[in-house]
Structures are given as structure tokens and as C-alpha cells.
């Protein structure tokens, strides 16, 4: 039997209204609901609920994708015992994302391999799941993109895009020193984010060495001032997890 006209029209309307889950499920759910002797409102309720749940899932996937995480990391794979210097209670509190509503920043300071990127990603991923707009950059990536945007006269546009986020992760400050122009562009981002967009910054540098990377004492002072006005500082001063990991693997092999 060919499809009856009403369903053809219905499917057309559902497509136009952009309700893909309802389109996909209205028929099978109608059969189930009629078996369960549910009335029309109950059927409609179930159908719209499914659309809503799917829509939220699709939006979350989009947010995660547009955040551009290098790798997705979560807290359940983080071994706090291996890094006792990290304040676990504070990390768990920050996972709620309330610091973002308060426009506070987070700063991770510590040597390479101490879990700074892992924890930043976990916090940013949680923020994504909570419906927040997040973007992950390494500092050098960000500065390169800003310089490119500037050359193409797109700097304002890019700055505007950055401002539309709730949280920016700036990973690895201090690994590469900046040119004067680069330092100024980074400063501009931090300055515009002040009291508007939360920042998570990771660095291997103690504050007193920031001038070396930024190149200017005045700029460093102004940047630190904004960054640390409302900040949670987490210091990871344990040994490198990578080193520990490979050392343990070596030991096992020798046994």
C-alpha cells in the first residue's frame, strides 16, 4: 500500500520544523502508545520529550566539537594520589562550573607532566556538558591565529568570536616567548575577558618569570593584575606523571 497523504504531509512539516527525532520516531511510538492505551497528549508528550533530549545531546556534541579539545580528558581517569599537591576538594568544587558564573579564572602552575592540561581539559569538558561555550587553545596557537587574523584584517571579528565564549582555556603559557606584537595580542584577549569570560591558564613558569616571555614588565604587570584579580591557583609541584609512568613500566620489564 502506498503511503497515505497525511503522513507524507506530516513528514514534510516535521522536516520543515526541524524535528528530526519526531520524524524518525512518531510512527513506532504511535504503535507503542496505542498498545499501552495512552491518550493523545501522553503520546505527544513522549514524542516531544524525545526530541528535546536528542536536541540537547546534539547541542552538547556541537559544543564539544567547537571547543576543539586536543584530547578529551575527564576527572575519573585522573589519579589524585599520584599528584598530592593538587587540591582535590577545590577541583571537585570547580567541576560544578560556578566559577564561570562568577567570572573567575583558574591558573595551573607546575612542571611538565603534572596533569595541568589533563585537569584543564576535564574542567572545560564539564563546562561544555553544562551548556557553556568553551574554546581550548594552546597559547602559541592562539597568538598565531590572532596574528593571522590581524594580517587579514579580521582581528576584530576574531576578538568578537572569542568574547562569545563563557570559558577559554589558554594552555602552555611560557613555553614559547612572544614577539612584542604577540604579547600585546595575548594581553588584549586577557584584558577583554576580564570580568566577562573565565580563563583557565596553564603555565610552567612562576610569576616572577612571566616578564621574560611577555617581554615587557608593564604588560606583564597589567596582565597578571587582570588574570589574578579573581583566581583559583592550583600548584602541581609533584613529579611528572609521564616520567613516573615510564619508570614504572621499565621496572616491571626488568622484573
78 binds ligand ADP (CB under 6 A): yes
The conformation of residue 81, written as its DSSP 8-state character, comes to G
The length of the chain is: 255
Least Cβ distance, residue 146 to Mg ion (angstroms): 20
Q: 162 and 190 in contact (C-beta within 8 Å)?
A: no
Among 48, 74, 85, 112, interactor with ligand ADP by CB under 6 A: 112
Residue 113 interacting partner from Mg ion, ligand ADP, none (CB closer than 5 to 8 Å by kind): ligand ADP
Residues numbered 226-255 forming contacts with ligand ADP, rule: CB under 6 A = 241-242
Distance CA 118, CA 26 (A): 42
Residue 138 interacting partner from ligand ADP, Mg ion, none (CB closer than 5 to 8 Å by kind): none
Least Cβ distance, residue 136 to ligand ADP (angstroms): 12
C-alpha distance from residue 13 to each of 6, 25, 250, 255 (Å) = 10, 14, 63, 68
Classify each residue of 41-56 as buried b or exposed e, where b means 16 or more C-beta atoms within 10 Å of its C-beta.
eebeebbeebbeebee
Residue 3 grid coordinates:
503511503
Considering only 51-59, 67-75, 91-99, 110-118, which stretch makes contact with Mg ion by CB under 5 A? 110-118
73 binds ligand ADP (CB under 6 A): yes
187 binds ligand ADP (CB under 6 A): no
118 binds ligand ADP (CB under 6 A): yes
Distance CA 152, CA 154 (A): 5
- Select 117 or 197, whichever has its Cβ closest to Mg ion: 117
Considering only 115-123, 145-153, 184-192, 217-225, which stretch makes contact with ligand ADP by CB under 6 A? 115-123
Distance CA 246, CA 250 (A): 6
Among 116, 132, 165, 226, interactor with ligand ADP by CB under 6 A: 116
For residue 1, what is the enclosing H or E element?
A: none
Q: Which residues sit at the interface with ligand ADP, rule CB under 6 A?
A: 73, 77-79, 82-83, 110, 112-118, 241-242
Amino acid at each position: 500500500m502506498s503511503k497515505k497523504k497525511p503522513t507524507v504531509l506530516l513528514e514534510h512539516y516535521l522536516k520543515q520544523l526541524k524535528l528530526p527525532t519526531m520524524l524518525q520516531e512518531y510512527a513506532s511510538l504511535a504503535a507503542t502508545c496505542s498498545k499501552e492505551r495512552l491518550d493523545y497528549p501522553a503520546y505527544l508528550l513522549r514524542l516531544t520529550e524525545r526530541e528535546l533530549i536528542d536536541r540537547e545531546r546534539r547541542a552538547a556534541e556541537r559544543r564539544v566539537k567547537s571547543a576543539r579539545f586536543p584530547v578529551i580528558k575527564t576527572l575519573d581517569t585522573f589519579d589524585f594520589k599520584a599528584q598530592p599537591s593538587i587540591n582535590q576538594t577545590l577541583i571537585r568544587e570547580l567541576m560544578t562550573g560556578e566559577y564561570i558564573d562568577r567570572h573567575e579564572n583558574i591558573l595551573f602552575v607546575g612542571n611538565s607532566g603534572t596533569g595541568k592540561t589533563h585537569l584543564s581539559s576535564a574542567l572545560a569538558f564539564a563546562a561544555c556538558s553544562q551548556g557553556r561555550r568553551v574554546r581550548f587553545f594552546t597559547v602559541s596557537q592562539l597568538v598565531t591565529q590572532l596574528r593571522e587574523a590581524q594580517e587579514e584584517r579580521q582581528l576584530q571579528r576574531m576578538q568578537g568570536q572569542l568574547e562569545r565564549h563563557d570559558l577559554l582555556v589558554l594552555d602552555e603559557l611560557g613555553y614559547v616567548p612572544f614577539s612584542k606584537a604577540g604579547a600585546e595580542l595575548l594581553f588584549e584577549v586577557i584584558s577583554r575577558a576580564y570580568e566577562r569570560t573565565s580563563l583557565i591558564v596553564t603555565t610552567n613558569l612562576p610569576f616572577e618569570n612571566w616578564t621574560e616571555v611577555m617581554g615587557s614588565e608593564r604588560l606583564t604587570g597589567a596582565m597578571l593584575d587582570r588574570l589574578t584579580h579573581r583566581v583559583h591557583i592550583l600548584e602541581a609541584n609533584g613529579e611528572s606523571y609521564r616520567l613516573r609512568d615510564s619508570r614504572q613500566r621499565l621496572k616491571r620489564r626488568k622484573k
